[in-house]
Amino acid sequence: MKKKHLAMTLSRLEGFRNPKPELEQYRTPGDVAAELLWLAHSSGHIAGRTVADLGAGTGVLSIGAKLLGARKVYAVESDKEALEVARKNAEALGLEVEFINANVSEFNESVDTVVMNPPFGSQRRHADRPFLMKAFEVADVVYSIHLAKPEVRRFIEKFSGDFGFRATRLRTVPFEIPAQFHFHRKRLERISVDLYLFERRSP
Ligand code: SAH
């Protein structure tokens, strides 16, 4: 599968039916998801690996990982409604994903790789923390998406360092959020996000 094809397939998946602002439910656009997954895949972190997608939403990253040959994918999501959409999306492509309806803090499987697009923490401050903490607990390699802002970058560096992880900003890319929430004034909100790789430092 080519990156372009992956992006197209992912962008055609069904999105949130009834997005909940307090959970920061906006799906990762197909091109951004494909970019993150491709970076992980090119480094050997997807094919044949066990992968967890924390805050899986409608399943974009889980499905992408499976399409790139992940051995097993756990999709962890607290919102039942979103998980139903994710399940449908995977089924439509004939893919097997293990869906787990739980708060990310309750997830306790060790995996090779975490891929995630956690809440950015713009609605609830520090909403990204439990995601990073869980990712650093269950995997040695984590790919994640965060706001490209100086204060966020400083926080990410420090926080990951405190957990013994080295943070590498792989790319900064545009990310489009449809105006689905009342606090959005434009039709399409264009923001900038950093694609990160976190690797556990050897002891
Ligand atoms: N990863 C998806 C969705 C991103 S939106 C994608 O890339 O498209 C963030 C998701 O995290 C939402 O679906 C939201 O419901 C979920 N979420 C927020 N807090 C959570 C928590 N504590 N535990 C599990 N899921 C959570």
Which CATH number covers residue 83? 3.40.50.150
Which H or E run includes 135?
helix 129-138
Ligand 1 midpoint to CA 203 (Å): 31
Q: Which of 25-29, 57-61, 115-119, 162-166 has the lowest mean pLDDT?
A: 25-29
How does pLDDT run across 164-193, given as a tens digit for each residue?
Answer: 999 999 999 999 887 666 565 666 788 999
Mean confidence (pLDDT) of the chain = 93
Residue 195 belongs to what domain range?
A: 3-200
How would you list the strands of the sheet with 141-147, edge to edge? 98-101, 72-77, 50-54, 113-116, 141-147, 188-200, 165-178
The pLDDT assigned to 59 comes to 98
What's the one-letter identity of residue 143?
A: Y
Report the distance separating Cα 35 and Cα 29, nearest Å: 10
Ligand 1 midpoint to CA 119 (Å): 6
Instruction: Indicate whether residue 25 lines ligand 1 (CB < 6 A).
Output: yes
Ligand 1 midpoint to CA 84 (Å): 13
Mean pLDDT of 120-149: 92
The pLDDT assigned to 89 comes to 98
Q: Which of 120-124, 130-134, 141-145 has the lowest mean pLDDT?
A: 120-124
Q: What number of other Cβ atoms are within 10 A of residue 139's Cβ?
A: 26
The pLDDT assigned to 112 comes to 98
Is the model more confident about 202 or about 167?
Answer: 167
**Domain count of the fold of the chain:** 1
Pocket test for ligand 1, best of 24, 74, 129, 176 (most atoms within 8 A of CB): 24
Closest ligand 1 atom, residue 119 Cα: 9
Is the model more confident about 53 or about 26?
Answer: 53
The pLDDT assigned to 79 comes to 97
Kindly report the backbone phi and psi dihedral angles of residue 79, in degrees, each rounded to the nearest multiple of 5, phi listed first. -95, 115
Mean pLDDT of 23-33: 92
Mean pLDDT of 146-153: 94
Mean pLDDT of 60-73: 98
Beta-strand relationship, 141-147 and 113-116: parallel
Which H or E run includes 41?
helix 30-42
How does pLDDT run across 83-124, given as a tens digit for each residue?
Answer: 999 999 999 999 999 999 999 999 999 999 999 999 987 777
The pLDDT assigned to 125 comes to 77
Ligand 1 midpoint to CA 118 (Å): 6
The pLDDT assigned to 186 comes to 63
Confidence of residue 200 (pLDDT cuts 50, 70, 90): very high
Report the distance separating Cα 172 and Cα 148, nearest Å: 7
Pocket test for ligand 1, best of 17, 23, 89 (most atoms within 8 A of CB): 23
Instruction: Indicate whether residue 82 lines ligand 1 (CB < 6 A).
Output: yes
